[in-house]
A = this chain, B = another copy of it.
Amino acid sequence: MAQVSETTNGIPQIFASIITIGDELLIGQVVDTNSAWMAQELNKAGIWLRRRVAVGDNREEIIQALNEESRYASIILITGGLGPTADDITKPVLCEYFNGKLVIDEGALANVESIFARLNRPMIERNRKQAEVPDTCTVIPNKRGTAPGMWFERDGKVFVSMPGVPHEMKGMMTNYVIPKLQGHFTFPFIDHRTLLTAGIGESFIAEKIIEWESVLPSNLKLAYLPNYGMVRLRITGSDTDSGRLQAVLDAQFGQLKLLVKEWMITDEDMPIPQVVGKLLKEKNATLSTAESCTGGYIAHLITSVAGSSEYFKGSVISYANEVKEQVLGVSHEALVSKGAVSEETVRQMVQGAMSVLKTDYAVATSGIMGPDGGSEEKPVGTVWIAAASSGQTIAECFHFRYDRSRNIEMAAIYALNMVRKLIASA
């Protein structure tokens, strides 16, 4: 792997580090989705995230993390621990760390007051205290909540504290932190090219592209990202000259695409529901789903894409057999003689979706997700998936070996890929 160097044509690489504060992260009550989002935004701005650290609501550990991360990075982004309750200690700790004293910020106070007025809730002292900030920081306005953000500088390094509430943090990052960082430092350009493959393992791809990979320019870097039985390949490059970076990325990406074209699903960085949506828009066609074991998850993935109402008409989630029969028109005979998890049933389900929801394409699932409900003949993880167009219906049986939630995810992604193939081949 070609490691991106620490300088790009003489511009020193600026590193960032994220410190996430909160006991909830250390007992696993919350999955940290903030860091991934922040990493993406930093990257787009040409800032390389070097480390991410999570620590508890504990003074010593927060100070330790601040000391340590400022050795590794010039930009330290801190989230969490700014709530109004006693377990939230980030603000007093930062105040101490940056030798300040807490003072009411009038702008932040007006913001808290206007939020309480809008919600028509009485304000108590604890809420008023949310508007306190160390006098050694620059206040970052929070348009989406009561806790203000804080910007500190020391020894050429920038420390930014933001709330852990995702939409509040995102508003601050987009509207304030990223623009202000861009004014403060000089960044090289960082960009990516990503493609998605299906039907080939990571190690086989590596063999196919070994010669190409071995002579990749030193400012480019390749990553293999396997997930849901597919492999995403990502080239990342950095350069001080944006045009030159785009040119070298395009050239290398063009070669890579040729090498893996047999397995390539898309050459854009988009998840499979978006790939399906793009195809449907191109063909001016509509889609529906009939879901048993996936329980609406396929519909959810499809409708997570903005603008999906252009091509997605709806679904029948037929968890109970009587819904399969009475709404989708699956024959009683198929359900009794072949069972709900069978090729016959899933083919009738997909036909039912096409006719009840009146779409050009449909996809249907029926399976056993676990932990219970399996049998010797049909063990947990057995899933029948069918996809249909007006002229063709295909069905296939899969055997997933994971836990319930992963089985649901896998079945949904495989179902989307099956209908994708059908649409792409039309």
Interface on A for B, CB 8 Å cutoff?
Answer: 1, 3, 23-33, 35-43, 48-58, 61, 65, 68, 83-87, 89, 121, 124, 126-127, 144, 165-167, 170, 192, 201-207, 213, 221-227, 232, 234, 236, 289, 291, 295-300, 302-304, 306-309, 312-320, 322-323, 326-327, 356-358, 370-373, 401-406, 408
Contacts and interface: CB of A to CB of B under 8 A. Distances in A.
Contact of A404 (B52, B232, B304): B304
A27 B193 CA distance: 13
A204 B236 CA distance: 48
List 3 tightest A-B contacts by C-beta distance, closest first: A295-B303, A296-B299, A28-B39
Nearest to A122: B204
A327 B356 contact: yes
Contacts of A65: 51
Nearest to A319: B314
A308 B293 CA distance: 11
A55 B54 CA distance: 12
Given A28-B49, A50-B61, A306-B404, 19 more contacts: A25-B35, A26-B52, A29-B232, A51-B53, A57-B223, A84-B203, A87-B221, A124-B203, A167-B403, A170-B403, A295-B300, A295-B304, A296-B298, A303-B408, A304-B408, A313-B323, A315-B317, A316-B316, A327-B356
Given A28-B37, A37-B28, A306-B370, A1 B86 contact: yes
Nearest to A370: B306
30 contacts: A23-B221, A25-B52, A26-B39, A26-B48, A26-B51, A29-B232, A30-B227, A31-B31, A50-B55, A50-B56, A50-B61, A57-B223, A68-B68, A83-B224, A83-B226, A86-B206, A121-B201, A124-B203, A299-B317, A300-B300, A306-B370, A309-B320, A312-B320, A313-B319, A313-B320, A313-B322, A314-B319, A315-B315, A316-B317, A323-B357
Contacts of A167: 401-403, 406
A351 B78 CA distance: 48
B36 A30 contact: yes
Instruction: Pick from A23, A27, A213, A289 the residue with the most CB of B within 10 Å.
Output: A27
